[in-house]
Structure formats: structure tokens, C-alpha cells
Amino acid sequence: MLKFQVHSPGKVILHGEHAVVYQRPALAAVVGLGTTLKFRQQAGSHVASFQLEALNCTLEIQLAEFNAFLADFRSKYPADSNAKLLEAVRAEVAQQLERSVGSNPKQHTQRAFVSIYYLLAGAVLSSPIDPQMTLQTGFQVQVDSGLNVGAGLGSSASFGAALATTFLILAGHFDRESYLQDENQALISTSAFESERVNHGNPSGLDNTVCTYGGMLRYVKGQGFQSLKIQKPLSILLVDSRVSRSTADIVAKVRHLAEGFPQLIEAIWQACEELVTAAVPLYESFGNAQDDSAKFEKLERLFQINNDLLKAIGVSHPKLEQIFTIAFKRGFFSKLTGAGAGGYVIVLLPENYEQNEVYWKLKEELESAGFGVHVTTAGGEGLRVSSLDD
């Protein structure tokens, strides 16, 4: 019986959030927090069970119903009809949730189930092994996440990439030995993007790309990405404001602002692009031990400038401002990450920060103020598949 686990990291946007929606470059990096998915086939079972710890729920798909759905879809549409498939999945999931959960399931639960059903159906319908493939053996999927939902760390993309990898392996697109080949990583990222469409409507494609490939990326919507050749991951403090928000709502508000003041907001996007251009060589050379202190000071200033640009488009929040003030008072530079209006703040940490007494005072003060604090890195490994021993 097939069993394995997938670890898919979350991400932070270092520079260029919001501007990336308007075809400006963004820099993003994976973080040391992420989603862990454990997959186990179960002989004799005819149910696909999904335990989602972050949402505190279990979802089930009866294989007979799923195979009937596939048969009905194949009779009506070609296998690559993604728009039609998503439409059909939404209708099917709504019926199933009403029967099993009740008529008013939580929005996060409904979106998660649509993502699961959509990615699973898409992987099976496009199986290179058998164009008429069905699922005959049940399985259990357990998903644990160190990423808060809706907080700007790419939780939905991390979840989508882990699911996509699992279902693509199950449907025979590739195996545990070949998933890192270029064409297979591209397939994982594309499938995770489809999951992002469920959650965000019109995503930039940044989150699924960086969660899949890892490291640090320069990304332009519609033009793909370039991996930065960084010397080593960057040490950061992620501070959770504990304020949740909707990325789609905030993006819509910024778009409304851009429509009202087009030239002014365009100037801000131009400044964001210049900032990314200035940041790339600093990130790529930082860590080679040649004048790192001067480079670090420049990165700190870029953090401050970037944060002020984001404040100018109205995506800060009183809780974020409190974090910025605490950090600045202790001599640390910080910025919001992602959509803003809540979510996380990144605090840039110097080398040997653990030997710095002021760092420990910063951490203590942030925790005393009620914020979640996670020491991690930006720029590590991307998605990985490994064996499951138990």
C-alpha cells in the first residue's frame, strides 16, 4: 500500500506585495514553517478521509460517488476543461457538505473541500496511466500546519501544493523519485495555482510558485520567476498580529484606491519596483562575509522604506503599528508581509542575534503584548516528499 509524507513550506513576501498584482516584480522566500501531509492507502476501504488539523475537521469522499462524478464529467467535457471542472466540483461539494455537515458549513471548510475535490478530480482525469482511471482503494490524508489561515504566510498555497503533489503521485503523473524534475515541479505549481483560484479568485501565482520551488524568487505576474542565488537563508522573526483578514477584500480595496488616484498609486508601484531592483544584489551577496554589516544596514533601510510605501496604500492596522513601534524602539527594522491589515510582520534579525540581549528583550516584549513570535528563516528548501515509517 502506498504511503508517504509531503512537507510544503509557507512563504513571506520580502518586497513587492500588492505591486505584484499590477505586473510589478516581487521578492518572496519560503519560511521554515509549513504544511505536513501524511498519506496512507487503506486496503479494503472505499473512502478517502481527510483530517485537517488547522480547520479542526474531517472530510470524507465516498469513492463510489467520486467515480460516478468522474464518469458524468467525462461524458460531458474534455479532460482539460478546468473551468467546467471547477464549476461541477463546486456544485457536487455543496450537495455533499449539505448532507454531511449541515446546510451552513464554515467558509474555510467549504473552500478546503472544493480544493481537495477539484485537485483530486483534475489529477485523476488527466492521468497519463489511464484516461478512464477511477479510484478503487481508499486512503487517509492527515494535514498538520504550522501556518495560520489567512495570515499572509501562504497557508492556502502550501496546503494546495501538498495536496497537488499527493494526488499527482496517486494518479501516476510521477513518483516519489521523480517529483523534483523540472516538468513535475511545474505541474505541482500549476495544480497548486488551481487550488489558489478556489481560495483567492484571481491569485498572482506567486505563493504556489515559491512554496513549490523554495529558496528566494523574483516573480512577475504572467512572466514567471527567477531564482535568486542566495548564499544562505536569512534569519527573521515572524510576529503574528493575531488579526485575520481576507486577502481578496484587501486587494479589492487597493484596486479601488488605484482607480481613484491612478498616477499617485502608479508612482508607488514604480518605487516598489525600484526597491526590488536594489534589494536583489544585496540578498544574493549577503552571507559571503564581505562587508555584511553594510549590506545588512541597507536591507534594514529597504524594509523601512517598503513598509512606509505599504502604509501609504492603507494596508496597515493598529496592531501592526504596535509591532513596528516595539521593534523600532529596540533598534530592529520590520515590515508587514502579504496583504496586510493584520497577518504577520517580518522583523529582520542580524547575525548572531541569539547573543544579543536586546533581541531577547524584543521577543519578551512582543509576547507580553499578546503577539505570536516565531524565529525562522527565509530562503530554505521548497516542497519535499519523504517516506512514512509508521
Please give the tally of structural domains in the chain: 2
CATH of the domain at 110: 3.30.230.10
Q: pLDDT tens for residues 157-191? A: 999 999 999 999 999 999 999 999 999 999 999 99
Residues 100 and 218 in one domain: yes
Residues 363 and 337 in one domain: yes
Residues 80 and 217 in one domain: yes
Catalytic residue (one of 207, 240, 241, 334): 207
Within 10 angstroms of residue 147's Cβ, the number of other Cβ atoms is 24
pLDDT at 37 > cutoff 90 = yes
Question: pLDDT grade, residue 390 (50/70/90)?
Answer: low
Average pLDDT score over residue span 17-44 = 93
pLDDT for residue 54: 80
pLDDT at 102 > cutoff 70 = no
pLDDT for residue 109: 82
Residues 339 and 248 in one domain: yes
Residues 6+ apart with CB under 8 A from 167: 119, 120, 122, 123, 124, 191
- Is residue 390 classed as helix, strand or coil in its secondary structure? coil
Residues 206 and 322 in one domain: no
Residues 94 and 170 in one domain: yes
Catalytic residue (one of 8, 115, 145, 156): 156
Residues 52 and 118 in one domain: yes
Amino acid at 68: A
User: What is d(CA 201, CA 248) in angstroms, rounded to the nearest whole number?
Assistant: 8
pLDDT at 249 > cutoff 80 = yes
Q: Is 80 a catalytic residue?
A: no
Q: Is 156 a catalytic residue?
A: yes
Q: Which of 4-13, 109-118, 363-372 has the lowest mean pLDDT?
A: 109-118
User: What is d(CA 155, CA 114) in angstroms, rounded to the nearest whole number?
Assistant: 16
- Position with higher pLDDT, 54 vs 356: 356
Q: pLDDT tens for residues 289-312? A: 777 889 999 999 999 999 999 999
CATH of the domain at 290: 3.30.70.890
Average pLDDT score over residue span 272-291 = 90
pLDDT for residue 309: 97
Residues 218 and 326 in one domain: no
Residues 271 and 218 in one domain: no
Phi, psi of 365, deg, nearest 5: -65, -40
Containing structural domain, residue 51 = 3-227+381-386
pLDDT for residue 78: 80
Residues 182 and 255 in one domain: no
pLDDT at 84 > cutoff 70 = yes
B/e letters for 315-327, b = 16+ CB within 10 Å, e = fewer, are bbbebbebbbebb
pLDDT at 225 > cutoff 90 = no
To the question of pTM greater than 0.75 for the whole model, the response is: yes
pLDDT for residue 240: 92
Residues 139 and 185 in one domain: yes
Residues 295 and 344 in one domain: yes
pLDDT for residue 151: 67
Q: Find out whether 250 and 338 touch, Cβ atoms under 8 Å.
A: no
pLDDT at 201 > cutoff 90 = no
User: What is d(CA 377, CA 221) in angstroms, rounded to the nearest whole number?
Assistant: 25
